[in-house]
Structure 1
């Protein structure tokens, strides 16, 4: 067997594979002899069928199968040994006059080669790394929510501005009949607020659903209807008042502090505010770091210039998809996937150049940390190390889970690399300002 490569340009090459009869004949003969031993053909005893008949019946199929196996195995071996960085898979070139009755065969394959480029991590333009802070307003609002959550309900005779009113929403025409609690500080309609104030248990109030609540997404659960039906809904519904309560906020005392964080962990209002600020900013870190990762990714895609073997990749998409594609459809698919492909190449280059690796023990510890955080959500705060090891072993026995966790860990490692080497500009912002800047 002889394999040679013809370089067309920096991004395209043709591999030629010459297979002679000596490369495959022994294997073909062995398989045909095994067929002869097992063949059951009327008129012949088992194992006594003439070899000529076996060759006539099975010879061509066995030949084609063995030549294709030789091709695949040796082509892959060649690409590995020659360290050819290919995109997609080799595409066989069409040969109109190919003859399987010959003894020697010549095959040609088109290759799409990965481009050569550099990725300087020290970005020319500074990339903003947001540090999201919890300001006084946010901390105070969180304390108000906590006090309200742990406070007690006091029955009222009339509806006031800060009350919670429980009742049933009905509309026969729109098939609405749902019991819900309205918190008046979440009412978005001034007309609805005025209609509710001063009302008593047993009163029926007509409310329009348009703008009824400050947060539109709450309307669905309040009326007991699907979200798609609640969207842009503008009808009048009756609300029959059944209960009126005022929520008396809990006192900021040791009893509340212990409920929130355990005995004697927090001992003053000042410490409570500091803890809420610290916890809030930890939660914001994930959003901040995801934003940084996205921005660095976009920067590299926009500023790392290289060509791709576009024609080859378009043909590869056309020939290897789940269903046949026209040239135009394949071209559209390439355009959709080009950005992702470019980043895969860039990321691979960064990982290789900076020797970013994932060791099994690292992955195991990462998995255990993930499992521990999941268990904490269900109240299991201090699982035994042996239990974590057992669960982690089960998780890492699942190929899909290994891939998912590896990708997450690699993202963390890349983020740490960018923080160390990229040109970052730290900007402190409140959460509200972060949302305005990032999401408009």
Structure 2
């Protein structure tokens, strides 16, 4: 067997494979002999069928199968040995008049080659690294929520300011019927507040959905519909009042602090606020990190210029799926996937240049950390190492979980690298302003 490569340009090549009778005949003969031993053909005893008949009946199929196996194995071996970084898979070139009756065969395969390029992490224009802080307003609001949540519920006969009203929203046309609790402090529409004040259990009032709550997301929860529908909704709904309560705020005392954080972990209102600020900013850090990862990724895609073997990739997309695609369909699919492919190549280059990889032992430790944080959410704060080890071993036996965690761990490594080497400018911002700036 002889394999050669013809370089068309930097991104395209053709591999030619020449196969002679010596490459396949011994294997074909062995298989046909086995067929002869097992063949059941009327008129002949088992194992006594003439070899000529076996060859006539099975010879071509065995030949084709063995030649294809030879092609696959040796082509893959050649690509590995030659260190050819190919995109997609080799595409066999159409050969008119190909003759399987010949003793020697020649095959050609088109290759799409990965481009050569450099990645500059320190871009000219800096990327914003958000540092989200929990400001005084946010901390004070959280303290109020805690006091309400752990406060005493006092039943009321009629609605007054600051009350919580349990009831059911209904609208027959929109098929809305949803029990919920409405906090008057979260209602934005003054007319709606006025119409609720003084009402009693059993009363029904009509409310306009548009601009009803101070926060838009509250409407979807109140009506039991998805947010997309709630955003477009501008109707009147009936609200049937069922129960009226006032929450008497819990005292900020040691009993409450112990209930929230464990005995003597927090001993004063000042420490409570410091703890809320610390915990909130840890949660915000995850959002800020994800934003940074996304922004650096987008900038790398935009700034790292290289060509792709686009025509080859369109042809490959056209034939690689379950069903063949038309030229237009393949072009559309390529355009959808091009950005993702570019980042895959950029990420691979970054990983190679910086020797980043995920090892089994560190993945297992990562899994233990994740399991420990999950257990902490359910009050299991100090699990034994043996318990963590057993759970991690079970998790690591699931390939889907291993893949998911590997991606998460690699994202963490990339984030650490970006923080060390990318051109970043830190911007301190409140969570409220972060949401406005990032999400509009």
Pairing of 1:271-420 with structure 2 (within 5 A): 271-420=271-420
1:94-150 C-alpha deviation (Å, 9 max, x unpaired): 001110000000000011111011112222221111111111011011101101101
Higher mean alpha-carbon deviation, 119-128 vs 136-145, is at: 119-128
What's the C-alpha RMSD, in Å, of the aligned pairs? 1.9
Instruction: Note the C-alpha offset of 1:30.
Output: 0.1
Instruction: Note the C-alpha offset of 1:333.
Output: 0.9
In 1, distance between residues paired with 2:436 and 2:287? 14
Pairing of 1:110-149 with structure 2 (within 5 A): 110-149=110-149
Q: Go from structure 1 to structure 2 and tell me whether the alpha carbon gap of 1:179 and 1:404 turns closer, same or farther (over 3 Å shift).
A: closer
Instruction: Note the C-alpha offset of 1:232.
Output: 4.0
Q: Go from structure 1 to structure 2 and tell me whether the alpha carbon gap of 1:265 and 1:65 turns closer, same or farther (over 3 Å shift).
A: same
Q: Go from structure 1 to structure 2 and tell me whether the alpha carbon gap of 1:175 and 1:310 turns closer, same or farther (over 3 Å shift).
A: closer
1:379-404 C-alpha deviation (Å, 9 max, x unpaired): 32222211211111111112221111
- Where 1:199 maps in the other structure, the secondary structure is coil
In 1, distance between residues paired with 2:103 and 2:239? 89
User: Where does the alignment leave 5 or more consecutive residues of structure 2 unmatched?
Assistant: none
Instruction: Note the C-alpha offset of 1:285.
Output: 0.6
Partner of 1:46: 46
Q: Go from structure 1 to structure 2 and tell me whether the alpha carbon gap of 1:28 and 1:148 turns closer, same or farther (over 3 Å shift).
A: same
In 2, distance between residues paired with 1:174 and 1:11? 57
In 1, distance between residues paired with 2:224 and 2:214? 17
- Where 1:116 maps in the other structure, the secondary structure is coil
In 2, distance between residues paired with 1:224 and 1:129? 37
1:278-331 C-alpha deviation (Å, 9 max, x unpaired): 000000011111111111111111111111111111100011122111112111
Q: Go from structure 1 to structure 2 and tell me whether the alpha carbon gap of 1:429 and 1:242 turns closer, same or farther (over 3 Å shift).
A: same
How many residues are paired up? 440
TM-score (norm 1): 0.95
In 1, distance between residues paired with 2:393 and 2:118? 39
- Where 1:351 maps in the other structure, the secondary structure is helix
- Where 1:264 maps in the other structure, the secondary structure is coil
Partner of 1:247: 247
TM-score (norm 2): 0.95
Q: Go from structure 1 to structure 2 and tell me whether the alpha carbon gap of 1:258 and 1:356 turns closer, same or farther (over 3 Å shift).
A: same
Higher mean alpha-carbon deviation, 191-200 vs 275-284, is at: 191-200
In 1, distance between residues paired with 2:369 and 2:352? 27
2:96 paired with 1:96: yes
In 1, distance between residues paired with 2:114 and 2:285? 36
- Where 2:167 maps in the other structure, the secondary structure is strand
In 1, distance between residues paired with 2:158 and 2:10? 81
Instruction: Note the C-alpha offset of 1:209.
Output: 3.5
Instruction: Note the C-alpha offset of 1:88.
Output: 0.5
In 2, distance between residues paired with 1:169 and 1:332? 45
Instruction: Note the C-alpha offset of 1:174.
Output: 6.1
Q: Go from structure 1 to structure 2 and tell me whether the alpha carbon gap of 1:127 and 1:51 turns closer, same or farther (over 3 Å shift).
A: same
Higher mean alpha-carbon deviation, 259-268 vs 223-232, is at: 223-232
In 1, distance between residues paired with 2:380 and 2:172? 47
Q: Go from structure 1 to structure 2 and tell me whether the alpha carbon gap of 1:143 and 1:105 turns closer, same or farther (over 3 Å shift).
A: same
Partner of 1:18: 18
- Where 1:263 maps in the other structure, the secondary structure is coil
In 2, distance between residues paired with 1:216 and 1:371? 35
Instruction: Note the C-alpha offset of 1:376.
Output: 2.3
Partner of 2:258: 258
- Where 2:128 maps in the other structure, the secondary structure is strand
User: Where does the alignment leave 5 or more consecutive residues of structure 1 unmatched?
Assistant: none
